[in-house]
């Protein structure tokens, strides 16, 4: 995977699927405090491509809108500033890189628990 530089940008996309998750970051950048949010989508039913993808990312007002939509649709919100910085480097609909599989799996586990669900094939 090629390295990407962190850049300031805002992107938005509607969140409307129950398998989405928003990651919230309240971090400092230069002199101002910027709020950042990233939405991921994971479809465990997809046999061909079950890798989570970035479906929305934004800062400040756009981040607030992403979080508002997540709350309206009952999508779990997980705060992780470091992960938000890494995921904000990805393009819309880009799959998460293999280096982030484990940490994103932990976030997805949080989302399942928060929603009172268990992943397909999970045995407690």
Burial (0-12, 13-18, 19+ Cβ within 10 Å), 11: middle
Domains detected in the chain: 20-114 (3.40.1690.10)
* pLDDT tens per residue across span 77-119: 999 989 999 999 999 999 999 999 999 999 988 888 888 887 6
* pLDDT tens per residue across span 41-78: 988 787 777 899 999 999 999 999 999 999 999 988 99
CA within 13 Å, CB half, 22: 31
100 CB contacts (<8 Å, ≥6 apart)? 83, 86, 87
User: How far is it, in rounded angstroms, from Cα 86 to Cα 100?
Assistant: 9
């Amino acid at each position: 995977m090629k390295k990407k530089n962190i850049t300031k940008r805002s992107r938005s996309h509607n969140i409307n699927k129950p398998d989405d998750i928003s990651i919230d970051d309240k971090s400092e950048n230069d002199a101002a405090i910027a709020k950042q949010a990233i939405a991921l989508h994971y479809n465990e039913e997809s046999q061909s491509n079950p890798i989570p993808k970035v479906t929305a990312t934004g800062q400040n007002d756009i981040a607030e809108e992403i979080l508002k939509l997540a709350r309206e649709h009952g999508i779990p919100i997980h705060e992780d500033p470091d992960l938000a910085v890494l995921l904000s480097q990805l393009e819309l609909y880009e799959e998460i890189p293999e280096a982030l599989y484990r940490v994103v799996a932990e976030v997805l586990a949080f989302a399942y628990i928060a929603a009172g669900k268990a992943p397909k094939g999970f045995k407690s």
